[in-house]
């Protein structure tokens, strides 16, 4: 496949390029200034020049707290830019995949969310992504929207990298133990998206699917997993202390329990992502190796 990926510097775009290369696909990532979702330009011409088989939007405004004071920018990227990209793909008659988030939900269900559950985002970021879903499908009825959550890997900013960095300087870490989701390795997510992209042309209709790691966790659970793998590598680790999400004051509210039921994607595409206990070791090793090379 030839895959046009919107986004270039984020952890998912980086993982897509790396995993696609291993699988023999031709992937090009497009970011600013050539492709700026906040300032829609000639997306159609840019895509046509690359001549892909599929278009995948891995670009987004993801600064959850900053979005509360930058609502205009978040909406421009996550709603307007995504819709503009979806329209360009439709005009070129190309399959279109769009990555969304578990933050479209309020986290009050008390069970994993399925695709038909009513979204109720708590903040600007989640709201911009939800409106992006609606605008994408309005512009491109054949679009496939893949919601994911808690993405981590060697590139970009994420919780696992933060825990590793803090472990090197702290004797104690307070970690939230009452917020739950599906930690998702960026490489696994990239593999899942590539598998779905290969089938996208055969889908008669678009729609929303959940695609995240198959094991859930709290932030504390994930931090424990990171520390166990650091300890196994012979590195010192701090003491972890359970804390409550409400103890932290932040501009944006987060869902308490944004676990996703990914059964529909598995039944439709035959794609099931590994759980974080299976994938975390490889991610921690890659991050440590990256740090050694940068030293």
pLDDT at 255 over 90: yes
Catalytic residues: 125
Asked whether residue 288 is assigned to any structural domain, the reply reads no
Closest to 104 in 3D by CA, of 148, 142, 140: 148
Distances (CA, A) of 240 to 165, 179, 229, 249: 14, 16, 14, 20
For residue 20, the 8-state DSSP code is H
3-state secondary structure of 180: strand
Q: How far apart are CA 289 and CA 295, in angstroms?
A: 10
Return the pLDDT at 156. 85
Residue 161 parent element (H or E): helix 159-167
pLDDT at 295 over 90: no
Could you tell me the pLDDT band of residue 205, with boundaries at 50, 70 and 90? confident
- Residue-number span of the structural domain to which 33 is assigned: 2-157+182-216+258-274
pLDDT at 20 over 80: yes
Asked whether residue 170 is assigned to any structural domain, the reply reads no
Could you tell me the pLDDT band of residue 291, with boundaries at 50, 70 and 90? confident
Per the structure, the count of domains in the chain is 1
Asked whether residue 171 is assigned to any structural domain, the reply reads no
Asked whether residue 165 is assigned to any structural domain, the reply reads no
Asked whether residue 57 is assigned to any structural domain, the reply reads yes
pTM: 0.96
Which CATH number do you get for residue 115? 3.40.50.720
Asked whether residue 56 is assigned to any structural domain, the reply reads yes
Closest to 257 in 3D by CA, of 216, 207, 200, 291: 216
Asked whether residue 245 is assigned to any structural domain, the reply reads no
Return the pLDDT at 13. 94
Asked whether residue 164 is assigned to any structural domain, the reply reads no
């Amino acid at each position: 496949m030839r895959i046009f990926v919107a986004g270039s510097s984020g952890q998912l775009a980086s993982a897509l390029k790396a995993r696609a290369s291993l699988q023999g696909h031709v992937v090009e990532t497009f970011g600013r200034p050539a492709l700026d979702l906040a300032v829609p330009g000639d997306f159609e011409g840019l895509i046509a020049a690359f001549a892909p088989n599929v278009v995948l939007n891995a670009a987004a405004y993801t600064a959850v707290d900053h979005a509360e004071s930058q609502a205009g920018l978040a909406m421009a990227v996550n709603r307007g830019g995504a819709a503009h990209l979806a329209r360009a793909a439709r005009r070129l008659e190309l399959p279109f995949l769009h990555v969304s988030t578990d933050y479209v939900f309020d986290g009050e269900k008390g069970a994993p969310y399925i695709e038909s559950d009513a979204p109720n985002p708590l903040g600007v970021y989640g709201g911009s992504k939800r409106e992006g879903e609606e605008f994408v499908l309005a512009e491109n009825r054949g679009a496939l929207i893949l919601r994911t959550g808690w993405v981590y890997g060697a590139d970009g900013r994420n919780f696992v990298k933060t825990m590793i960095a803090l472990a090197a300087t702290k004797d104690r870490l307070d970690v939230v133990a009452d917020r739950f989701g599906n930690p998702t390795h960026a490489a696994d997510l990239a593999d899942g998206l590539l598998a779905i992209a290969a089938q996208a042309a055969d889908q008669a209709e678009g729609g929303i699917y959940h695609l995240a790691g198959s094991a859930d966790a709290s932030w504390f659970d994930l931090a424990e997993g990171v520390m166990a793998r650091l300890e196994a590598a012979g590195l010192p680790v701090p003491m972890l202390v359970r804390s409550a999400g409400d103890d932290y004051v932040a501009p944006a509210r987060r869902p308490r329990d944004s676990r996703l039921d990914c059964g529909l994607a598995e039944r439709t595409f035959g794609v099931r992502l590994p759980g974080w206990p299976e994938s975390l070791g490889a991610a921690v090793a890659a991050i440590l190796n990256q740090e050694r090379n940068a030293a």
